[in-house]
A and B are shown apart, each in its own frame.
Chain A
Amino acid sequence: MGAPLALIAGPLSACAGLVLVLLLGLRKDHPAPHNPFIERCAAMACTAIGLFFLLNAPEAARTELLRADGWSRCWQALFHLATLGLLATIPLKGERPLILALASLAGLDFLASADNLLMLFVSLELMSLPVYLLVWGLLPSRKSLEAGIKYFLTGAAASALFLFGLALQYSASGSFSLHGERSADSALGFALMCAAALFKTGIVPFQFWLPDVYEASEPELAGWMSTALKAAGLLLLARLLFASPAVPAALWLSPLAALSMLLGNILALRQQNLRRLLAYSSIAHAGALAAALCAWTREPHAAPAVIFSYLSAYLFMNFGGFLGLRLTGALCVQDLSGLGRRAPLRSAFLALMLLSLAGLPPTLGFLAKLYVFLDLLQAGDKFLAAALALSSLIGLGYYLGLVRRMYMDEPAAAAEQPPICSRMAHSLIAVLCALACMLGGLYPSMSTDIGSVLAAPAAEGSVR
């Protein structure tokens, strides 16, 4: 039982939760909007159980489609953690968002352990299809519908690109294994698949959907998407990068990474909508992650741990950031004016998250950025290091601008002040995020500790 459990603990728990929610939904027949507390708890419980199993399943196992090892478990744990946050905080008017989130989680879990191109494709679809619906359905408005359609059209095009790449790789090697035979076709195929991965990560020429979608979604959902889905895209990118024919990432990924970092931050400078601003900031962060990935191809030693540390830090601070938006009820930049006096604790939390995103010590964000810098310099990639430094500076410009607005601007008229959300779960998770961001930064060996868990696959070379 041990081995299969290690393989499917994650998706299984997600599916179990999904079924449970569906069944619980059957007990009453009225479709009126309601806040299904029990369903939420059930979904969270299943996700948490999955997390528990993931953390306690030490065996490595593999089948034709999947393989389970420290690497996949870590990613799945990350996905479960992010989804727990989403499930706990997402505003509900029915149980459908729970189902969709759980389905997407199943896709994410499959993605983390997939060892087969076809599995990758299906999990990619399973991961993204519910999200189109979530974006559309959570906040039924014209904007959300528009975002859903845009996301769907571009996302489906990305899937098609992936699929065509898959077909090419199949035609080249005759199998769906990631490590098949190489030929001219597979060069094309990997390029197409990488394009799809870049789309999911939100790297620069593939990022246009991202601000629109984040702007139209609920902050919790945007926070989840920016962490879990971005992580999934990055994971996919990493897989492809190390399975692909020897095209140096420096050739194509590093310019794109640098461009994402700079353009993301530059575009964020002039945003008025806060979610959109954070969306652009997440593009810049994706660029930093991609930069770390570039370094990985040159300096394989510490990089997986670095990327994973960055992602886990990012999970806390970006989810925390979006949570801060929810907690303060701020939609656009003006709403933040004078917030420091109106809601000191909430604005302190938001400020902490922003400073952490800006990478100021001693927060978690600083540590994450430091690792990437170290990684890049170890790989000798001065160009990317300089770009990262420059983009951090530009980023500081708007993060700090927001902090300044919160504390140093006169508050808006009372009538225009947005209402403040006060839900227990939000506050609890906010406290968690704040603690993680503050204390994590004082724990510089985070990366090596994570590295020791990740070490197994890296040593085996399965990732590479």
Chain B
Amino acid sequence: MIELLLRLLCAGLFILGAAFLVRRRELLAMLIGLELMINAANLMIVRTALARGDAHGLAAALIVIAAAAAEAAVGVALILALYRDFAEPEAEEIRELQG
């Protein structure tokens, strides 16, 4: 039961995160979506680790959290730079490169 629930939650979070990327046009919202996706994965890892009593999974979760933090930092830095230099934090606005 718990398994099913958690799987539902993981899938839901992951798909919602993807939906952020597909449908939201604010870059920061897309970042939020990314965090959701990572969290979904992390939840899955932790659940497995705890269910199997496997310390490797926990270590992995910790490492993933750190990596996600690094990624988020880079993302925020990029978006802020765009805002600061060009004041356009929208996906729709950055379309200079195309074709």
Give A contacts to B, CB under 8 Å: 118, 121-122, 125, 129, 132-133, 136, 142-143, 145-150, 152-153, 156-157, 159-161, 163-164, 166-168, 170-171, 174-176, 211-212, 215-216, 271, 276
Main DSSP-derived SS at the B contact region: helix
Contact at A149–B71, with CB atoms within 8 Å?
Answer: no
Q: Which of A129, A164, A276 contacts B70 (CB 8 A)?
A: A129
Contact at B37–A174, with CB atoms within 8 Å?
Answer: no
Chain A's closest residue to B53 (CB) is A174
Given contacts A163-B64, A164-B40, contact A156 B75 (CB under 8 A): yes
Contact at B37–A164, with CB atoms within 8 Å?
Answer: yes
A161 CA to B45 CA in the complex, in Å? 14
Contact at B56–A163, with CB atoms within 8 Å?
Answer: no
Which of B70, B75, B78, B79 gathers the greatest number of chain A CB atoms within 10 Å? B78
The 9 A-B residue pairs with the shortest CB-CB distance in the complex, in nearest-first order: A167-B44, A160-B37, A212-B97, A171-B48, A163-B41, A146-B94, A164-B41, A167-B41, A167-B45
Which of A129, A157, A160 gathers the greatest number of chain B CB atoms within 10 Å? A160
Contact at B48–A153, with CB atoms within 8 Å?
Answer: no
**Number of chain B residues whose Cβ lies closer than 8 Å to a Cβ of chain A:** 42
Contact at B96–A142, with CB atoms within 8 Å?
Answer: yes
A149 CA to B17 CA in the complex, in Å? 17
Chain A's closest residue to B51 (CB) is A171
User: Could you tell me the distance in whole angstroms from the C-beta of B48 to the nearest C-beta in chain A?
Assistant: 4
How many residue pairs link A and B with beta carbons under 8 A? The number is 109
Which of A142, A149, A211 gathers the greatest number of chain B CB atoms within 10 Å? A149
Which of A152, A164, A211 gathers the greatest number of chain B CB atoms within 10 Å? A164
Given contacts A142-B96, A176-B56, contact A129 B71 (CB under 8 A): yes
Q: Mark B21-47, 1 if CB is under 8 A from A, else 0.
A: 100000100110010011011101101
Contact at A145–B44, with CB atoms within 8 Å?
Answer: no
Chain B's closest residue to A153 (CB) is B30
A152 CA to B60 CA in the complex, in Å? 23
User: Could you tell me the distance in whole angstroms from the C-beta of A333 to the nearest C-beta in chain B?
Assistant: 13
Q: Mark B58-99, 1 if CB is under 8 A from A, else 0.
A: 001001100100110011001101100110000000101111
Contact at A133–B74, with CB atoms within 8 Å?
Answer: yes
Contact at A168–B44, with CB atoms within 8 Å?
Answer: yes
Contacts A156-B75, A161-B37, A171-B45 known; list 18 others, CB within 8 Å: A121-B67, A132-B78, A145-B78, A145-B85, A152-B74, A153-B30, A153-B31, A153-B75, A157-B37, A159-B71, A164-B40, A167-B44, A167-B45, A170-B57, A170-B60, A174-B52, A174-B54, A175-B56
